[in-house]
A = this chain, B = another copy of it.
Amino acid sequence: MPAPTGEHSVVRWHPPAYDIRVEKIPVPQIEHPDDAIVKVKLAGLCGSDLHVYRGTEGLTEPSVCGHEFIGEVVALGESFHSDATGRPHLYSTLKVGDKVVSPFTVSCGECHFCRVGFTCRCIESRLFGTPHTPGGQAQYVRVPRAGGTLYNLQGISATPVASNQETKDTIGKLEDSSLLLLCDILPTGVFAAFQALNHPKTLPMMTSRSYPQSSGFAIPEGAVLAPLQPEDKGLTIAIVGLGPVGVCACIAILDMLYAKDIDFRIIAIDPTEARRKKVEAIYAKVSQAQSPARKGRLEVSDINASKDIVSAWTNRIGCNAVLEVVGNNSALSLAYELVRPFGCITSVGVHAEPPVPFSGRELYDKNVSFDFGRCPVRAMFPLALDLLLRRQDIFGQVGGEVSLVEKVVGFDVAAQTYDDFDKGRCGKVLFDPWR
């Protein structure tokens, strides 16, 4: 297949704010040997696109929007050849025609941060949808450091849940609208859940061993205080914010808690009733295969009622973990109010410039732990793909009661769609650049 030339359609934002235009610009070309050109099948509109849309990022140049895209490789730079040994394996294996999904940031796959799995802080990290890294709401997109950045949906050899051939077949049958969720929102939800359940301060409730023995240290017998009681087992967890990432976090944490057979109470909090109803419908579906003897329940709540519910559930001591999936100070303050002493707050919301709303004394007095920041999507892909495959009853849907994706539209309605999304008049929308 020859590399495309000529012009293509893109959704482009213009400064200072709220100005979305569909334009024809030259098709991107290979600029560096590590580049790939991807023909975009679907591109997502994400809540964090609104930071650029509203003009709050301070950008002064137009930029092609979008950091979520799935597509097909149509051109590869010279770095891609059969003996690219010592480099990330995609440099040797990726072929024109392969179906690929991209994290929302570029990662080289070769620096210290990439090697250890913190791919979103790659030393060459670039966010798609910004002036120097045109985004995926386009017919074609250039992917820098493509051998480190992309995930080849053809090339994966196994997942924890299926043998090679089964998995390949299953992935081959998945809708693009489902695979698109791997770009950002599903791994970010998985990351939020993963951080909460792998924190040393939640381990005692999951292992029935007290701290610090819970981290694998041998402690002499006489040093142990009272043995753990049945009520010490299990976790009370709050999820603050039920946008698409919050919904993914709900599904991910339910899945992990069921897999580990941990008792739980989850409160899923959002001021919007439609979002709460979706989470209720999803919970009904996710919990339906569980035995009736299984202890665990999820309830939805608005913000005000959430404090009383958590207080009643926990005899006023609060949640073991709070997943903050909003990205503002109100959400952080609520997380602090809901968390118990020695609890942990996992914050994957994209925060802005205001100082965080805590005094040092407040944090000391509650022994709070925080994990802030962006999901290393490339590193979390396998866990997210595993969940995506097993929960096609949710992630495979478009526009239904439990679906994360509300609809797929063409670029012709891009400006209106941004406006609707900004004003909360629609949920997650995907663009088909060829429609």
Contact = CB atoms under 8 A, between A and B. Distances in A.
A137 to B, nearest CB: 23
B117 A211 contact: yes
Given A352-B359, A357-B355, A382-B220, A204 B121 contact: no
Given A109-B226, A226-B115, A360 B373 contact: no
A156 interface: yes
A360 B332 contact: yes
Nearest to A229: B115
A101 to B, nearest CB: 12
B382 A223 contact: yes
Interface string A375-413: 010111111000000000000000000000000000000
Interface in A84-134: 87-89, 109-110, 112-121, 123
B221 A157 contact: yes
A116 B205 contact: yes
A116 B382 contact: no
A337 interface: no
A351 B370 CA distance: 16
A225 to B, nearest CB: 4
A77 interface: no
B361 A353 contact: yes
B157 A220 contact: yes
Interface residues of A, number: 92
A115 B211 contact: no
Given A226-B115, A232-B116, A364 B374 contact: yes
A305 interface: no
B364 A223 contact: no
Contacts of A349: 360, 364
Interface in A235-270: none
A158 B221 contact: yes
A2 interface: no
A363 B370 contact: yes
B157 A367 contact: no
A198 interface: yes
Contacts of A327: 360, 364
A271 interface: no
A195 B199 CA distance: 10
Contact of A115 (B157, B223, B227, B351): B227
B379 A210 contact: yes
Contacts of A373: 341-342, 363-368
A220 B160 contact: yes
B112 A232 contact: yes
Contacts of A355: 355-360
A416 to B, nearest CB: 30
B361 A368 contact: no
Interface of A: 87-89, 109-110, 112-121, 123, 148, 151, 155-160, 194-195, 198-201, 204-205, 210-215, 217-223, 225-229, 231-232, 317, 327-329, 332, 341-342, 347, 349-361, 363-374, 376, 378-383
Given A121-B342, A368-B370, 7 more contacts: A113-B342, A117-B214, A121-B366, A123-B317, A354-B359, A356-B358, A364-B373
